[in-house]
Amino acid sequence: MEYEKMLYMANSEMPHSPHLKHTGPEQQFVSQSQPDPYSAYADNFDLSLLPQDSGIPTTVYQYNAPQIKIECVWDQEQQQQQQSQGQQQLTTRYSTSSSHQLIPPPPAYPHSVYPSPQSSPLQSEFLKFNTSYDCTSLSSPCPSLDAASIKQELHILPPSPPESNCETPSPRSVKAEPLDAEIEGFVDLNSLLQQQQQQQHQLPDTTDIKPDHQLLRECLEDTTFQKKHNLKPLALESFIGGLAEVRGDFEPVISLALEHAKREADAICAELQISPDPNAWTSAQVHAWLRSTLAQFKLPPVNNLELQFSEDGTALALLSEEEFMRRMPESGSTLHAQLEIWKMAYADQPTQQQQPQLEPIQQQWPTDYQLQNLDEYNEDSEDDEEMEVTTTPDVSTNTTTTTSTTTTSNNTTASGVKRTTGGRTGGGSHIHLWQFLKELLSTPQVNGTAIRWIDRNKGIFKIEDSVRVAKLWGRRKNRPAMNYDKLSRSIRQYYKKGIMKKTERSQRLVYQFCHPYHQ
DNA sequence: AACAAGGAAGGGA
DNA sequence: TCCCTTCCTTGTT
C-alpha cells in the first residue's frame, strides 16, 4: 500500500483536470469529470488484470513503483492486441513503456528480500515491519502513517541530482543492479498476497473471504490518505519523458513523510510537555518519550527503564542502534529508528522554530508553509535569488506559530564537543562546516547518497556527491555561490586547526575527523 | 575536468 | 579574533 502513495503528488490544487482512467480490459483512457476527485485512485489500478495466482512480478523496487502500474496492465500480448485494435492514443502514451519495463532483480538476490549491504536502522525497521505485518490492518479506514510507513517513504529518496558528479546510478540504471544501500527499497506484494491466501485457506468457512485481490482493492480504494493531504494521481506522461523529470516530484513526498513525523511528534511533544529536539530532553523526559513510543508501537514495556536509560536527550541521541538493541532486544530497533526520525525532523527545522527549552509546549514543527520553503530549500533550483527571500510563517496553517527567535541551540555532547543543532538565521547560520557535515552524516536515510561514513569509529567519511553537499552547505549558510571548491577549501582549513586531517591513504573526497570531533 | 593543496584578501559576527 | 568565503595558482588524478 505504501508504494501507492508514491503515485500521488502533493498539490495545492484539487485535481480538477481530467484523470487517466482505466475502464476495464479495454484499457482505454477516457477523460471524464469525477464527482469525487479521489474516486479514480482505485480505478487507476485495474486489479482484474492481475492473475489470481502467483506468477506475477510483484516484487519491485520502490524506485520503480509507478512502473508496476504499467507493467501489470501492459504485457506484450495486450500490447499487440491493442496495437492491432488501433488504440493510437494508448499506444502513443505507452510507446516507451517497453524501454521502462521492470528489469528483474539480479539473480544473486533472493526473491522477496533484497539485502542491503548497509541496512540503515530505518530499513531494518521496515523489514521487520514488512515481515510481521498483519494484512488485515491494511484495510483500516484510517491509514495514519506509522513509523514504518514513514521510513519506507524516506527510502524512496531519489539519487543524486543529474548535475551531480557522484557515482550514484541514475534511476534508469538503478533498476538493473543492486541499489545504493541508502536508497534501495522494495515492496513485496507477493508476500502480502500469500498471507492473504493463507488466511483464506485457514478460514475456509468464513464469509469474510475476499477474492479477486479484495485486499489490494480495499487498500487502493481507501483514499483517506490522499484526501487528507490533497494528493492527486501522478501523471503517467511524466514517466514517458524519463524518470529524471519525475525525480523532483519525489521530494514533496519525502517532505510529506517528514511532515507526518513532525506532526505526530508535535502531538507527543504537547502531550509529554517535551521539546521536539531530543537533545534538549532531560532524563525524565527521555523516559517519558520512551514510554510513549513503546505504547505508540504497542511494544512490550521495559522493566527498569530508568535504570536502563540514565542518559539525557543529548546522550540518548548518540546511542547506536546496537546499544538500543542491547538494552531492549525487542524494541530497541524501533525506538532507535523513531529517535532517528525525530532527530532528522528537528534538524530540518528552520532556526526560528528551534527554541530553547523554556517553553516546550510552544515549540512546534514547521508549518505547511515552512515545509514548502523546506522543499525549495532541498530542491536543486538554479534560481538562487529565491533562497535569499526571507519569509514569515503562515499563521493560517493548523499549527501554532511561535514568536521568532534566532537562538541556535548549543549543546554539549557526551564527548565534550560543542554541538550546534544546525540552526539557520536570516542571514545564514552559525553552524560550523564540520558540524554541518556531521549533521549530514547522521542522517544517512536522507543524505546517504551525498555523504557517508567510511569508518565511523575513525571519523573517516566520504563525500559521494560533492556538488550536492556543497549546495546543501551553501543553502544552509545562505551562500548561493557555494561550490565544492570553496567547501573543500574550508575543510582544508581544518587541517591546521586539528579538526580534520588527511587520511592515511589519500583518497579523493575522503576526509577524516580528528578526535574527538567525530564522536 | 575534477579534485587537492594552499596562499591571500576580505567580510561578518 | 575566529570562521569562513572568495579567488587564485599549481599540481595530481
Q: What are phi and psi of A219, to 5 degrees?
A: -65, -45
The spacing between the Cα labelled CA in A409 and the C1' in B12, in angstroms, equals: 20
More reliable by pLDDT, A352 or A477: A477
Buried b (16+ CB within 10 A) or exposed e, A402-416: eeeeeebbebeebee
What DSSP assignment string belongs to A326-354? HH-TTTHHHHHHHHHHHHHHHHTS-GGG-
Q: Is A408 in contact with A351 (CB distance < 8 Å)?
A: yes
A298: which residues sit within 8 A by CB, 6+ positions away?
none
Predicted pLDDT at A326 = 79
Query: What's the rounded mean pLDDT across residues A3-22?
Result: 33
More reliable by pLDDT, A502 or A33: A502
Would you say residue A259 has pLDDT above 70? no
pLDDT tens track for A188-228: 344 444 555 455 444 444 334 444 455 555 545 555 544 44
Q: What are phi and psi of A258, to 5 degrees?
A: -65, -40
Predicted pLDDT at A486 = 92
pLDDT tens track for A172-190: 333 333 333 333 333 334 4
What CATH code is assigned to A433-513? 1.10.10.10
Residue of least CA–C1' distance to B1: A165
pLDDT > 90 fraction of chain A, expressed in percent and rounded: 4
| Closest by Cα among A252, A258, A64, A244 to A161 | A244
Predicted pLDDT at A154 = 36
Each domain of chain A, given as residue ranges in start order, spans 249-346, 433-513
Query: CB within 7 A of strand C: which residues qualify?
Result: A 431-434, 473-474, 477, 479, 481-482, 485-487, 489-490, 493, 497, 508
Instruction: Kindly indicate the confidence band of residue A511, based on its pLDDT and cuts at 50, 70 and 90.
Output: very high
pLDDT tens track for A264-292: 777 777 777 777 777 778 778 888 888 88
Residue of least CA–C1' distance to B12: A427
Query: CB within 7 A of strand B: which residues qualify?
Result: A 165, 427, 430, 466-467, 484-485, 488-489, 492, 495, 502, 506, 508-510
Return the C-alpha cell found at A78. Answer: 495486450
Domain A249-346 has CATH 1.10.150.50: yes
Chain B: nucleotides below 7 Å from protein CB are 2-8, 12-13
Would you say residue A239 has pLDDT above 90? no
Would you say residue A5 has pLDDT above 50? no
| Closest by Cα among A447, A455, A424, A414 to A164 | A447
pLDDT > 70 fraction of chain A, expressed in percent and rounded: 32
Highest mean pLDDT among A92-96, A99-103, A205-209: A205-209
DSSP H helix total and E strand total for chain A: 24, 10
The spacing between the Cα labelled CA in A427 and the C1' in B12, in angstroms, equals: 10
Would you say residue A166 has pLDDT above 60? no
pTM: 0.34
Would you say residue A478 has pLDDT above 70? yes
Would you say residue A327 has pLDDT above 90? no
Chain C: nucleotides below 7 Å from protein CB are 3-8, 13
Predicted pLDDT at A488 = 92
Question: Among A337-341, A342-346, A374-378, where is mean pLDDT lowest?
Answer: A374-378
| Residue in the structure block whose three cell numbers are 575522503 | A510
More reliable by pLDDT, A262 or A111: A262
More reliable by pLDDT, A511 or A317: A511
Instruction: Kindly indicate the confidence band of residue A439, based on its pLDDT and cuts at 50, 70 and 90.
Output: confident
The spacing between the Cα labelled CA in A501 and the C1' in B1, in angstroms, equals: 26
Residue of least CA–C1' distance to C13: A508
